[in-house]
A and B are shown apart, each in its own frame.
Chain A
Amino acid sequence: MLWPAVAAAGAAGFALVAHVLNPYEGGNYPTCPWLALTGTYCPGCGTLRATHSLTEGNVVEALQRNPLTVAAFVLMTLGFIRWARRQWRGEQRMTAAPAWLLYGLFWVIMAFWIGRNIPGWTWLSPV
């Protein structure tokens, strides 16, 4: 159970930093190098702000910053529960997810990357 504990502590630490050091206030964090260089949003843009909003219980605001981050947090939590349960019971993972699911995830991320940079489509962009 060492690694599940490390992962949980890491996630809690990230949420704590995002909550205490408000990413909505300019100057608390440097601008993402990708955004500074290209002026476009990568799929991760808005993650810190979305996390801050979630720690305040504001799910709508978090979805406005980065809907994929919120979805990923839900999936990661479910995956974490399964993983920690296996570790607790001393079991090994015996199944591999179908490949189309992983390729689908890849294309969802790529489409999201493009979609959030289309001018006028602000519902995917972090602003």
Chain B
Amino acid sequence: MSDYGSTPPPPPPGGGSTPPPPPSGGGYDGGAYGAPPPSAGGYGGVPAGPPPPNNLVLAIVSLLCCWPLGIPAVVFAAQVNGKWNGGDQAGALESAAKAKKFAIIALVLGIIGTLIYIALFAFGAMNADTTTGL
């Protein structure tokens, strides 16, 4: 899902014969995505460059695993786009990271709970003839 990487900066212009790509270009860089270009002086307007992944799908899945942690995950994921479109790049990245953190904790708890539940089911501790609930 991640079509955005924060680590590798764009290659230096001296590395090849091509000039550095413009910040808003849909770069044909073969999948090696660079960091977003630095903001042109803070707030106001949609920043150039690709928006960060907001982890919304992950958050919604986590909502079904463990809602007390999934709800903040979805809210933080929704904040990402609002902050990004409002020009707050740092805030957007911060919200995306929080959404991811909450979602992953919820997913891990949900998976652990489900595994315990399946184990109980498999070892016959639970009645098998209840209606399915998924």
- Chain A residues contacting B77 (CB-CB under 8 Å) are 102
B82 touches A99 (CB 8 A): yes
Q: 1/0 per position for B117-134, CB-CB distance to A under 8 A?
A: 110010000101111111
Which residue from chain A places its CB closest to the CB of B110 in the assembled complex? A33
Contact A47 to B63, CB < 8 A, known contacts A96-B85, A106-B74 = no
B133 and A45 contact, CB distance less than 8 A:
yes
Main SS at interface, chain B: loop
Docked complex Cα distance between A69 and B134 (Å): 11
A91-B132 contact, Cβ under 8 Å, with A96-B84, A109-B60: no
Report whether over half of chain A's contact residues are helix, strand or loop; otherwise say mixed: loop
Which of B4, B129, B131: most chain A Cβ within 10 A? B131
B117, chain A: closest CB distance, angstroms: 5
Q: Are A96 and B30 in touch, CB under 8 angstroms?
A: no
Q: Which residues of A contact B126 (CB under 8 A)?
A: 30-31, 36
Whether B26 contacts A35 by the Cβ 8 Å rule is no
Binary per-residue interface labels of chain B (16-31) against chain A in the complex, 1 for a CB within 8 Å, 0 otherwise: 0000000010111111
Subset of 18 A-B contacts with CB under 8 Å: A7-B1, A36-B133, A45-B133, A89-B26, A90-B28, A91-B28, A92-B4, A92-B27, A96-B54, A98-B85, A99-B78, A99-B79, A102-B54, A102-B56, A102-B81, A105-B60, A106-B74, A106-B75
Besides A29-B134, A36-B126, A92-B26, 14 other A-B contacts (C-beta < 8 A): A23-B132, A27-B128, A28-B132, A30-B132, A31-B126, A42-B67, A45-B134, A47-B134, A48-B132, A49-B132, A87-B3, A92-B3, A96-B46, A96-B51
Report B's interface with A, CB cutoff 8 A.
1-4, 24, 26-31, 33, 46, 49-51, 54, 56, 60, 63-64, 67, 74-75, 77-82, 84-85, 113-114, 117-118, 121, 126, 128-134
